Amino acid sequence: MKHQDNCIFCNIVQGLAPCYKVFEDELTLVFLDVFPASKGHLLIIPKEHFRDIFSANPAVLARIAQNSAMIANVIQSVINPDGLGVHQLNRKAAGQTVFHYHVHMIPQTLGHNVGLHSKSAGDPDQLRDLAERLCFAVKETLAE
């Protein structure tokens, strides 16, 4: 599997950098965004390094789409948002800041529409607690 040395998401995949993990399979990893736009802001990434949609493996994108449906229902059961934004940016001109393909899942509340990026880091204790609850809900969903 191809990784890139200076890529933060490759470092997370390889265990060289920490993350608040929610789910993984052999192709993908789901973890909390450390600068959450809202409570429960998750990222789904391929374990292999693809810069963006132009170079991504379509079979891996299919798995990400499949997992995003499962994760959406887990977010709904744990966070109970009014809506859920699913976003994916490609290249600087589109707002991409981490150049390892990823999909954002951002819970939204009616009347408080938030963007994709936050300037403030999430509280580590809250992120850890939320990751644990999401992780538990994923396991329950997969066991059904």
Residues that bind Zn ion (CB under 5 A): 4, 7, 9-10, 49, 100
The number of residues in the chain equals 144
Q: Which does 4 bind (CB under 5 to 8 A by kind): Zn ion, ligand 5GP, none?
A: Zn ion
| Separation between Cα atoms, residue 38 and residue 57, nearest integer Å | 29
Tell me which residue has its CB nearest to ligand 5GP. 35
Cross-strand partners of 21: 31
What are the residues binding ligand 5GP (CB under 6 A)? 8, 19, 31-35, 89, 95-98, 117
- CB–CB of 27/58 below 8 Å? no
Cross-strand partners of 113: none
Pick from 34, 50, 28, 26: nearest CA to 100: 50
Least distance from ligand 5GP to the Cβ atom of residue 117, Å:
5
Q: Which does 8 bind (CB under 5 to 8 A by kind): ligand 5GP, Zn ion, none?
A: ligand 5GP
Active site residue 87: no
User: Would you please indicate which residues are annotated as catalytic (active-site) residues?
Assistant: 102
